[in-house]
Amino acid sequence: MTATRTGRPRSESTRLAILEAAASLTTELGYDGVTIDAIAARAGAGKQTIYRWWSSKSMVVADAVIAGHLRLPAPELPDTGDLGVDLKAWTTAAAAAASDSQLVQVVRALVTAASGPEQDASRLYEHITRPTYELLVNRLRRGQDAGQLSAAVSAESVADALIGTLLFRALARLPLSEALTGLVDALLPQDRGTGAGTTPRT
Amino acid sequence: MTATRTGRPRSESTRLAILEAAASLTTELGYDGVTIDAIAARAGAGKQTIYRWWSSKSMVVADAVIAGHLRLPAPELPDTGDLGVDLKAWTTAAAAAASDSQLVQVVRALVTAASGPEQDASRLYEHITRPTYELLVNRLRRGQDAGQLSAAVSAESVADALIGTLLFRALARLPLSEALTGLVDALLPQDRGTGAGTTPRT
Amino acid sequence: MTATRTGRPRSESTRLAILEAAASLTTELGYDGVTIDAIAARAGAGKQTIYRWWSSKSMVVADAVIAGHLRLPAPELPDTGDLGVDLKAWTTAAAAAASDSQLVQVVRALVTAASGPEQDASRLYEHITRPTYELLVNRLRRGQDAGQLSAAVSAESVADALIGTLLFRALARLPLSEALTGLVDALLPQDRGTGAGTTPRT
Amino acid sequence: MTATRTGRPRSESTRLAILEAAASLTTELGYDGVTIDAIAARAGAGKQTIYRWWSSKSMVVADAVIAGHLRLPAPELPDTGDLGVDLKAWTTAAAAAASDSQLVQVVRALVTAASGPEQDASRLYEHITRPTYELLVNRLRRGQDAGQLSAAVSAESVADALIGTLLFRALARLPLSEALTGLVDALLPQDRGTGAGTTPRT
DNA sequence: AGGTAAACGAGACGGTACGTCTCGTCTTCCT
DNA sequence: AGGAAGACGAGACGTACCGTCTCGTTTACCT
């Protein structure tokens, strides 16, 4: 029994223009550089229109990410049947993403946004972090089923370690590739001898 | 051949008062609630005196952390000779720290500060991140020497994974304890059977 | 074809509150003691609202003068038919005004304001100086028509001399009354024998 | 009983450098643009040295004027024996000075400085205004003795009118030449027919 | 067709904090 | 003791955004 609303309906084109503006401004200036005024100006919208539908800057940016207007550093994770090969592919893609300063910019924006109200943070987690996280966990579980990863280890913990390493070294501006390769090697001991990662780093 | 400086020397007491004020305001109001004006007012200093020595709010707070005016979530890492036991201790301390919202607040401040100019970021890394990182790496290396961790894995990668997991789950406001326990178990397979972590999480 | 303005219209009550605040602060503290911050605070307005409509402190004060919120040292000039009598009345009123330090304060503010951008200066001239100037010139012309002032002299020059004398001696903090009386006597020779001004000053 | 002062004597070269710096800065930036810091920097002096010997910015600038480091708009007043001719010469020189924007700048600086403490103002009057004023008065008195100006008029009032007109029209940025010419014509009626001023201005 | 109601753009509003500027004082070393 | 250097507390400056508040206009649904 949805109350039949009267009055002018919400403008879809304005909604899109606002998300688009938020996305491009975040990419260009980083999260802190984005302002509601600038979003409104670029979108050709009134500020009130933004405040009518979103509670804060962080929610606008979060929605822009969720709606896909902001390209996200979500490395692909194939499933060739060989977990080691697949994780190396993910590692390579992640390292590439981390070397793209615009993507890192967006990550920092999301970290900052996630520092905001609990409600905004969980919305971001649900739509952004969790999909990647569950993709990893599921692939790891299939690897365990195939005997490529010990069934005794926690797939979630491995996913945490992979994503955490990615996040830590990206934020700290440290080289990423060897760290992830080394981690995969440490977790998949039987993979010995196939990659650069087998040589302990100095 | 230090250039003999002339003019009134920098006031040490003012420097300390500013760091103290920055620390107490961060604790009370959180990072976003801190303003340069408030720091200056509480420290009994002029704003210019702050801007003369620090480039931004984040650097003042970072210096307060470095100088120890703000307690940092730096979990202790003992060396009992048993790497598994020591890492579990570190894990427990880390989880406790992550459940202290004030400490998490400070971490977020540091992440923000690390998003600034390269120079500021590396200063932070040198003084804050690296000590913890190297502590972990060294302990892990001693564990490898004692045969408690495979000599084939990269100690750095393991440290990255531990710190990364801590950072990721703290920022995402997810429970931390099991993730770290599970990771330690995964990395020290011979430790099987001694902890709660052996039961795969659901 | 007035451009149809959009957006919230300018608040008249705020405009008045700002002018009122500027006027009272000038009277209380003198021109130099007035600050934009104080005007905003007393008017209950934001600073930006002041800067949106006025280019500088001096223009706010000038507008307060123009709008009549600040009493101006504008001596009355009657028209009794006898130019000598009328100018003596103006002289007396001017001398009284010049002995009021608050009024002199305002004059100094206006001189300072007139030192600013050409546009501001001419606005002040149009609204403040010229009315007084033209009043004098017109009265002098009627005196010439009545044969009380030589038709050969320039009425404008006489007005310049009167106002100039007033300005000079007020700024130099010199006694004003005798100077103006003496000037009137010098310009209206037929008025001989009626005033104190006939006795040369020592 | 002159106390024989001990210690290092005041540096004459520094005193001169400060006055020189004050003069050049006033010319370049106008009175409001001058700062004690800038004077100190340009003079290669410490700020304390300035504050030790002068009470305020206005006194430094005033001293610079008095000491002749700032060229003043002091028109020459010859004495050919013909008062009309001499005043016309003065008028011409004054008009030329008023068209020199740097000189007008200095005049405005002095007006502002004269708005300061009574003590500073009278010092300025004594050294700057009065010499010019007395020059005029004396020349006018000699004109009266020669029968070229009515002995009944007040020489001081005429001097006030001349200087006042000059000041007024210079500050109001109005053309000066005709105003002064017209005034001279009005005061020296016997001068009829010799100058452009006889034609009433429109 | 006219009326009602909500969303729209624009932009002014009261505020807060910013980072800069200048003031007049203070502190150090040097001459 | 005077002087150059320059840090200090204080506080005003003019700007940038915030989130709110009118305006006039537009676009739907409901008589």
- In Å, how far from its chain's centre is CA D105? 11
- In Å, how far from its chain's centre is CA D196? 27
The reported pLDDT for the residue numbered A6 is: 84
A 10 A CB-CB count for B146 gives: 11
* pLDDT tens for each residue of chain B, 202 residues long: 455 678 999 999 999 999 999 999 998 998 889 999 999 999 999 999 999 999 999 899 999 999 999 877 678 899 999 999 999 999 999 999 998 888 888 888 888 888 877 888 888 899 989 999 999 999 999 999 999 999 999 999 999 999 999 999 999 999 999 999 999 999 986 544 444 444 445 4
Torsion, CA B136, CA B138, CA B143, CA B145, rounded to 10: 160
Q: How far is residue D4's CA from residue A90's CA, in Å, rounded to a whole number?
A: 88
Of A70, A86, A71, the C-alpha closest to A187 is A86
Of A2, A123, A117, A105, the C-alpha closest to A67 is A123
In this complex, the residue with its CA at the shortest distance from the C1' of nucleotide E11 is C7
Q: Is C82 on the interface with D (CB under 8 A)?
A: no
Q: Is A104 on the interface with B (CB under 8 A)?
A: no
Which tokens in the block code for residue C4? 């149809």
* Residues D92 and D155 occupy one common structural domain: yes
| Strand E contact at CB of residue D29, distance < 7 A | no
* Residues A181 and A96 occupy one common structural domain: yes
Task: Report, as ranges of residue numbers, the positions in chain A whose pLDDT lies below 50.
Answer: 1-2, 191-200, 202
Measured CA to C1', what is the nucleotide nearest B11? F7
Q: How far is residue A190's CA from residue A87's CA, in Å, rounded to a whole number?
A: 14
Q: Is residue D184 part of a domain?
A: yes
Q: Do the beta carbons of residue A41 and residue A24 sit within 8 Å? A: no
The reported pLDDT for the residue numbered D189 is: 66
Q: DSSP assignment of D10-32, as one string?
A: PPHHHHHHHHHHHHHHHHHH-GG
Q: Is residue A158 part of a domain?
A: yes
* Residues B44 and B97 occupy one common structural domain: no
The reported pLDDT for the residue numbered B89 is: 95
Long-range (24+ apart) CB contacts under 8 A made by D79-85 are D79/D139, D79/D142, D81/D146, D82/D148, D83/D139, D83/D140, D83/D142, D83/D143, D83/D146, D83/D148, D83/D149, D83/D188, D84/D148, D84/D184, D84/D188, D84/D191, D84/D194
The reported pLDDT for the residue numbered D117 is: 77
Q: Is residue B70 part of a domain?
A: no
Q: Do the beta carbons of residue B40 and residue B14 sit within 8 Å? A: no
For the segment D64-91, the average pLDDT, to the nearest whole number, is: 90
Q: How far is residue C74's CA from residue C128's CA, in Å, rounded to a whole number?
A: 9
Q: Is residue D2 part of a domain?
A: no
Q: How far is residue D58's CA from residue A149's CA, in Å, rounded to a whole number?
A: 84
Is 90 exceeded by the pLDDT of residue C198? no
CB contact under 8 A, A186 and B183: no
* Residues D87 and D185 occupy one common structural domain: yes
Q: How far is residue B82's CA from residue B142's CA, in Å, rounded to a whole number?
A: 10
For C51-72, the pLDDT digits (tens) are: 999 999 989 999 999 999 988 7
* Residues C35 and C126 occupy one common structural domain: no
Torsion, CA B170, CA B175, CA B177, CA B179, rounded to 10: -90
Q: Is residue C201 part of a domain?
A: no
Q: What burial class does residue A52 get, using C-beta atoms within 10 Å of its C-beta: 0-12 exposed, 13-18 middle, 19+ buried?
A: exposed
Tell me, what CATH number does C49's domain have? 1.10.10.60
* Residues A61 and A113 occupy one common structural domain: no
Q: How far is residue C16's CA from residue D51's CA, in Å, rounded to a whole number?
A: 42
* Residues A49 and A133 occupy one common structural domain: no
Residues of B in contact with A181 (CB under 8 A): 157
The reported pLDDT for the residue numbered A124 is: 85
The reported pLDDT for the residue numbered B198 is: 40
Instruction: For tokens 């609303």, name the residue.
Output: A5
DSSP A131: H
The reported pLDDT for the residue numbered C193 is: 43
CA-based nearest residue in chain B for residue A197: B154
For the segment C33-43, the average pLDDT, to the nearest whole number, is: 97
For C92-135, the pLDDT digits (tens) are: 999 999 988 888 878 887 887 787 778 778 888 898 899 999 99
Stated pTM of the model: 0.84
Is 60 exceeded by the pLDDT of residue C42? yes
Is 60 exceeded by the pLDDT of residue D2? no
Q: Is B127 on the interface with A (CB under 8 A)?
A: no
Q: Is residue A5 part of a domain?
A: no
* Residues B47 and B139 occupy one common structural domain: no
- Structural domain count, chain D: 2
The reported pLDDT for the residue numbered D197 is: 40
CB contact under 8 A, C154 and D125: no
Name which of B160, B190, B192, B202 to mutate to probe chain A: the one with the most chain A Cβ atoms within 10 A of its Cβ.
Answer: B160
The reported pLDDT for the residue numbered C189 is: 66
Is 90 exceeded by the pLDDT of residue C156? yes
Is 80 exceeded by the pLDDT of residue C73? no
The reported pLDDT for the residue numbered A200 is: 47
Q: Is residue C73 part of a domain?
A: no
* Residues D19 and D93 occupy one common structural domain: no
Long-range (24+ apart) CB contacts under 8 A made by D171-177 are D171/C111, D171/C114, D171/C115, D171/C167, D171/D107, D171/D108, D171/D111, D172/C114, D172/C121, D172/C125, D172/C129, D173/C114, D173/C118, D173/C121, D173/C122, D173/C125, D176/D94, D176/D95, D176/D98, D176/D99, D177/D91, D177/D92, D177/D95
* Residues C44 and C105 occupy one common structural domain: no
Is 50 exceeded by the pLDDT of residue C136? yes
Mark which residues 129-148 of C lie under 8 Å from D by CB. 129
CA distance D45 to chain C (A): 28
Tell me, what CATH number does B164's domain have? 1.10.357.10
- In Å, how far from its chain's centre is CA D40? 26
Domain that holds residue B164: 83-191
Q: How far is residue A116's CA from residue A96's CA, in Å, rounded to a whole number?
A: 29
- Tell me the residue type at A85: V
Minimal Cβ distance to C201: which of D154, D163, D181:
D154
Q: How far is residue C81's CA from residue C92's CA, in Å, rounded to a whole number?
A: 18
The reported pLDDT for the residue numbered A30 is: 87
Q: Do the beta carbons of residue C130 and residue D135 sit within 8 Å? A: no
Q: Do the beta carbons of residue A184 and residue A88 sit within 8 Å? A: yes
The reported pLDDT for the residue numbered D25 is: 94
Q: Is residue A161 part of a domain?
A: yes
Q: How far is residue C136's CA from residue C130's CA, in Å, rounded to a whole number?
A: 10
* Residues A179 and A100 occupy one common structural domain: yes
Is 70 exceeded by the pLDDT of residue C25? yes
The reported pLDDT for the residue numbered C196 is: 42
* Residues B180 and B120 occupy one common structural domain: yes
Q: Do the beta carbons of residue B139 and residue B77 sit within 8 Å? A: yes
CA-based nearest residue in chain A for residue B180: A157
Measured CA to C1', what is the nucleotide nearest C56? F14
CB burial string A87-120: b at 16+ within 10 A, e below: bbbbbebbbebbeeeebbbbbbbbbbbbbbeeeb
Within a 13 Å sphere around the CA of C104, how many CA atoms are in the beta-carbon half?
24
**Three state DSSP letters for chain C:** CCCCCCCCCCCHHHHHHHHHHHHHHHHHHCHHHCCHHHHHHHHCCCHHHHHHHCCCHHHHHHHHHHCCCCCCCCCCCCCCCCHHHHHHHHHHHHHHHHCCHHHHHHHHHHHHHHCCCHHHHHHHHHHHHHHHHHHHHHHHHHHHHCCCCCCCCCHHHHHHHHHHHHHHHHHCCCCCHHHHHHHHHHHCHHHCCCCHHHCCCC
Q: Do the beta carbons of residue B163 and residue B180 sit within 8 Å? A: no
For D36-60, the pLDDT digits (tens) are: 999 999 999 999 999 999 988 888 9
| Strand F contact at CB of residue C48, distance < 7 A | yes
